[in-house]
Amino acid sequence: METPRTRLPTLFEVLSRRTLPPVDLFSFFIYMRDHQRSLDYLDFWLDVAQHMSLCRHYVRELRRSVLVSTPDLGDRSNSPALFPDTLDEKSSNQRLSAFLRNETPEPGLLPSQPSTDPSSSVAHTVNRADVRASAEKILYTYLLQGAEREIVLPQPILQSITQAIEVDGRDDPDVFAEAKDYVFQAMERDAFPGFLRSKALGNLVPASVMVRLVVGLLSMFAGFWAAFSLIFLDIKPRGTRLWLILPFLVGVYCLIAHQYSLDPIMGLLGISEYTFMEFYKVKEPYVRRLLIKRSIWILALTLLVVVALVCLYTFVPGKRL
């Protein structure tokens, strides 16, 4: 069983679906769509990751077909040539790409196309045409000039990918490796810090933050108006001024929630927002603890400011104008 994290997650953990709300992949998807307006970059990274998974699946089924049709290779099942996906991820991708380019050290062990012999007991759900179609789809969707969801990448990277797919006929994972790393670093640098601030240190979306700002300002205006009215009309008894706690409490609460993008009551209840007025439970343990601590701090600060304001306007002597 995986040990709970005692830190904030990394971008790779989020993209690998190893995290829980509010720092899961779906939350990051919404953040990239609604805040960064850069959803195409996230979709590109995910599509490339899916393409690499498709390549592994193709090679795995091809390997199974070879083992079924050539039983004498069973005792060589630990060969790196037969198992390119059993190494670490980077080495696995390189070996996988080498095989798909027919550069495997033992090419005789793995044919470049899956067997079409109807007597074969292995049914292939992925063939080389699927791998090729996946690579071309990524190229035509994200990378060519004027593409439907064109993303901005350095020109040398774009030229290298176009050359590899359209001229060299390649479709292996290494074709997109440089672009994938570039997009990952861009998201890690430009989007992920803001995502963590928004979801791990707060629980409100911008629309809710603005609502609290408006409500807070109106409540503070009402509180100050009532306070000065009670003072300059010299309303008796002075205890009547204690009612000022209501507008000041609402006003200070909303303004501090706006300042920190965190509603403390929601934080204590373990609730956060996906989108405006759509709530979900906070399930990531470390983030839950972090939000509770910040919520307690915000409530303490709110009470301190409210008590100070109420005391100030309660004990000021009244003077009728």
Contact in structure between 212 and 204 (CB atoms under 8 Å) = yes
Task: Write down the pLDDT at residue 71.
Answer: 58
Letter string b/e over residues 166-199, b meaning 16 or more CB atoms within 10 A of that residue's CB: eeeebbbbbbbbebbebbbebbeeebbeebbebb
- Give yes or no: residues 167 and 207 share one domain: no
Q: Give the per-residue pLDDT at 96.
A: 58
pLDDT at 132: 92
Rounded CA gap, 58 and 132, in Å?
11
Q: Is residue 169 part of a domain?
A: yes
- Do residue 135 and residue 247 come from a single domain? no
User: pTM for the full model?
Assistant: 0.80
Is residue 59 in a domain? yes
Considering only CA atoms, which of 164, 162, 161, 190 is closest in space to residue 178? 161
Query: What is residue 99's predicted lDDT score, i.e. its pLDDT?
Result: 55
Residue 270 lies in a domain: yes
Domain boundary among 190, 217, 243: 190
Residue 218 amino acid letter: L
pLDDT computed for residue 101 by the predictor: 58
Structure confidence at residue 93 (pLDDT)? 58
The tally of domains found in the chain comes to: 2
What integer pLDDT is reported at residue 50 of this predicted model?
A: 94
Answer whether residue 12 is part of any domain.
no
Question: Residues of the chain whose pLDDT is less than 70?
Answer: 1-2, 66-124, 318, 321
User: Are 135 and 105 within one domain?
Assistant: yes
Domain boundary among 165, 190, 215: 190
Note whether 225 and 112 are same-domain residues: no
In this structure, the answer to whether residues 200 and 172 fall within a common structural domain is no
| β-bridge partners, 280 | 272
What pLDDT, on a 0 to 100 scale, did the predictor assign at position 178? 95
CA distance 233 to 222: 16
* pLDDT score recorded for residue 89: 54
Which tokens sit at 151?
């993303």
CB 13 within 8 A of CB 278: no
